[in-house]
Amino acid sequence: ALGCALPDDSDKDAESLIRRAQLALKTAKSSKRIEVYRPAVLDVARQRFMMETELRRAIERDQLSLVFQPLVSLATGKVAGFEALARWNHPDKGLIPPNEFIAVAEDCGLILPLGRWALDRALQTLAAWDAASHCALPLYMGVNLSPIQVVRDDVAAMVAGALRTHRLAGTRLSLELTEGVIVSDPERAGRTLEALKACDAQVAMDDFGTGFSNLASLQKLPIDVLKIDQSFVTDMLGDPDRIAIVRSILSLAQALGMTTTAEGVETPELARTLAALGCSTGQGYHFSRPLTADAALAFALTSLG
Ligand code: C2E
Ligand code: MG
Ligand code: MG
């Protein structure tokens, strides 16, 4: 029997390497094959499973929260809305960013309860802002929808229900979907988007330019906003190729009767340039990082005057 172990960054001494080689040898003796101990692979699988269990618990124990990032009109400089972004406040590990747990949630189906929770909490927050201001504020809420939700959940009924619960007009809600939705099942995507439009909600194509949606379906679907992915925006100045991409997305949007939101606006120069190019809305650290609900309302009230 033959068992081997490969050294990796976690090796502090030869002993741990030998211990793993012995473990591989033990496995090899029973499997009658050559076994290589690959701690990284095992750890990834184990960590993912642990994260799944913990995420399930976090949802039950209400350890997820939302932060709100301003969406600012580039023409007026006033806030037009907010995007709700999920955060996981882990008791030991601290704040875990969504890029680490949304994919896990999608893999194990937890994205369905998580997505429902995010929509409900976002609209509840917007309704609370209205109540505190004694009026319907001229603000909309952007909520992300995973392609998995579109395929496996009744998204239209969920949206209609949440709007009813919080007594909000559909126009106050913008649903952010990625191109993956169109690519995986264009027919279902079409039906879902039509149903969302029937609730008066806006539909935004998130991370636009990174997926592979074809222009024909883009034109057929009831999409209101193209959100230009930050990879084209953030380092755009001084990069003629990226400026060309942004310009062509802007003219595509115009031709199709859609508005545009640029993600990743980190500097005042970028905000100015994008405004001059005709982009309607900006989102990024230049305006504000994502804020807690209270800070977001204060930001909006200051901006709206
Ligand atoms: P996204 O929908 O494209 O959201 C924009 C992301 O860009 C956010 O990251 C935001 O914090 C970040 N961002 C904003 N301005 C800037 C900037 O100026 N520079 C840079 N470098 N980044 C900026 P975040 O909050 O980490 O979220 C990451 C992704 O996780 C989101 O990308 C979205 O796809 C997903 N996500 C977050 N919340 C939810 C949720 O409730 N449901 C679903 N399905 N996905 C969510
Ligand atoms: Mg988004
Ligand atoms: Mg995006």
- Flag whether pLDDT at 177 surpasses 70: yes
Q: Report CA dihedral (236, 241, 242, 244) to the nearest 10 degrees.
A: 110
Distance between CA atoms of residues 198 and 80, nearest Å: 22
Nearest to 180 by CA among 190, 171, 172, 189: 189
Residues in the chain: 305
pLDDT in tens, 246-293: 999 999 999 999 999 999 999 999 999 999 999 999 999 999 999 999
Residue 190: pLDDT band with limits 50, 70, 90: very high
Query: Which residues lie near ion ligand 2 (Cβ < 5 Å)?
Result: 144, 176, 206
Ligand 2 centroid to residue 289 C-alpha, Å: 14
151-157 mean pLDDT: 95
Q: Are 114 and 120 in contact (CB under 8 A)?
A: no
pLDDT of residue 45: 74
The residue whose two tokens read 């747990």 is: 101
Q: How confident is the model at residue 114, as a pLDDT? A: 97
276 exposure class (CB count in 10 Å sphere: 0-12, 13-18, 19+)? exposed
261 Cβ closer than 6 Å to some ligand 1 atom:
no
pLDDT of residue 180: 86
120 lines ligand 1 (CB under 6 A): no
CA of 198 to the centre of ligand 1 (A): 27
Task: For residue range 62-86, list pLDDT tens digits in order.
Answer: 999 999 999 999 999 999 999 999 9
| Average of per-residue pLDDT across 147-161 | 96
pLDDT of residue 24: 82
- What 3-state DSSP class applies to 271? helix
For atom 30 of ligand 1, the residue with the nearest CA is 98
State the distance from the centre of ligand 2 to the C-alpha of 241, rounded, in angstroms.
Answer: 24
Which stretches does DSSP call E strand in 63-171?
64-73, 79-90, 94-96, 140-144
pLDDT tens digits along 100-128: 999 999 999 999 999 999 999 999 999 99
Q: Count the alpha carbons within 13 Å of 250 in the hemisphere toward its beta carbon.
A: 20
Lowest mean pLDDT among 12-16, 32-36, 171-175: 12-16
- Two structure tokens written together for 160: 């209609």
Query: Alpha-carbon distance 166 to 128, whole Å?
Result: 9
Q: Residue 184 — very low, low, confident or very high, per pLDDT cuts 50/70/90?
A: confident
C-alpha 176 – ligand 3 centre gap (Å): 8
DSSP state of 291: B
Where residue 46 falls among pLDDT bands split at 50, 70, 90? confident
Q: Is the CB of 49 under 6 A from ligand 1?
A: no
Probe target for ligand 1 pocket from 55, 65, 68, 85, with the most ligand atoms within 8 Å of CB: 85
Closest ligand 1 atom, residue 149 Cα:
44
In this predicted structure, the answer to whether residue 10 has a pLDDT above a threshold of 90 is no
pLDDT of residue 87: 97
Mean pLDDT, residues 43-70 taken together: 90
Ligand in nearest proximity to the CA of 229? 3
Q: Are 245 and 210 in contact (CB under 8 A)?
A: no
Return the pLDDT at 39: 64
User: For 44-55, what is the mean pLDDT?
Assistant: 86
Look at residue 2 in the predicted model and tell me its pLDDT.
87
- Nearest ligand to the CA of 122 is 1
The overall average pLDDT reported for the chain is: 92
Distance between Cα 85 and ligand 1 center (Å):
6
What pLDDT was estimated at residue 40?
Answer: 62
**302 close to ligand 1 (CB < 6 Angstrom):** no
